[in-house]
A and B are shown apart, each in its own frame.
Chain A
Amino acid sequence: MTAQTEKRFKPWDDETAQQIAADNRDRPGALMPILTELLEDFGYINPEFVPHLADLLNLSRAEVHGVISFYHDFRTTPPGETVVKLCRAEACQAMGGAKLAEHAKQMLGVDFHGTTADGRYSLEQVFCLGNCACAPAVMLGETLYGRVTPERFDTVLKKHKGAA
């Protein structure tokens, strides 16, 4: 019923990754655009790709690893099919965000940064989705939801499951 179709991550493949890296290598500050593009495609950065990136950009492996480990988004293991980002910031807290977080953890059976056993969902905490006027907010993949009560969370999850 909804136009919001979920974008699927592709399984990691070195050839595509190398192409992305090669296409971006001459941009100023190339490492960040390369990493964000890899993330958009695969949902994670394969750590085995680090030496190749270091070589290509004339950086040390430590420098590349340092950048990957600095940013919350750059995970180094494949995420679940859908990443559930739950906002923990103040505006959402003011509208029952903490309760929603507890509920989500229980429903999915994982803590923050965890992936469900069936590989469908990864749960991540974020600090602000910019939906503070419709708190609490949750994002599934790139689909944003507002005024998410525990009941609405279940509905959204069910609808999402049905669509997948």
Chain B
Amino acid sequence: MKLEGEVRIPSGCAIAAVIDRDGGRIPGNLTAEAMRPMHERSNGLGGGFAGYGIYPEYRDFYALHFFFNDRTARKDCEAFLKERFEIVKSELIPTRKIPAVTDEPVIWRYFVDPLKSVLLSEQVDEREFVVRTVMKINTENRGGYVFSSGKNMGAFKAVGYPEDVAEFYRLEEYEGYAWTAHGRYPTNTPGWWGGAHPFTLLDWSVVHNGEISSYDANRRWIEMFGYKCTLQTDTEVITYIMDYLLRRQGLTLEEAASVVAAPFWSSIEREADPGKREKLSYLRTVFPSLLVTGPFSIILGFDGGLMALNDRLKLRSMVVGEKGTRVYIASEEAAIRAMEPEIETVFAPAGGEPVIVTLNRKEGGEE
């Protein structure tokens, strides 16, 4: 094997996403098209997708996607699940055998409803209950990993190139109002099924291009609050930070963005608006350990929208395009044009400047 230096290793993962602000249905393989012109950004050691609005018939239930080592692990995890949830539906996630994706684990999904009696005895709300269950399963080494746990959304990921992963999971058979996608080029950690992006918890999902210099500082802080980093990839911690800031601390998306990509103190001092200056200073002071340093471009998916964010130095590329009701995000403009050749506007957001896109109305007109 040739070492870096003997052979050029062009760095950089690929990320892409699309959302229809009117909630229009987008097939799951559209973001796979974005991955084709960015093929060199991946190396076949991970690809994945997250789709939102894909399970309307089970919208009221948590969709738990699992990797199991074997049938025994599934039986064991299932027995544990039954102690905590009513299982409404249980099935293999449909896949297609293709030569490009091999050695797959047992890939299963459950649609579940937390048991009210257990919720009462643990004295937590439903979402916290689901988070605790996911953490418990993923740390107890039962031979099963939960890799998706939100409502009306789901992650699909594997070891392989993202275009092949989309084919493997038959994503053309799903439709959702938003999708994110990732092609992986692991540099520091192993390429394995659980380490592919997106990293999810509840309906949060994160795809990430870059590497986090502050990983261990972030991990130590977030593990104080019951999160456990078990998946051997730095991106995982961003997902838990977002859950902590958005769900548990109740911050807005803009506020969470200015915690993880906080402006420099010198920039805060120059901020003209005193209210804004005070707020930025407050967030940096209260959450210093959640500043994420090192290069990153990420796309956060959540119930009803997407947020794209670059590190404050903008050490990774990201482009945003719009046409009609749809917004497209990708590491490269060529990828956006692969999804929509007639794109109307294209721009590159500045470092630390979040781009937030939400549905104009909740899907189905509710809420």
Do they bind each other? no
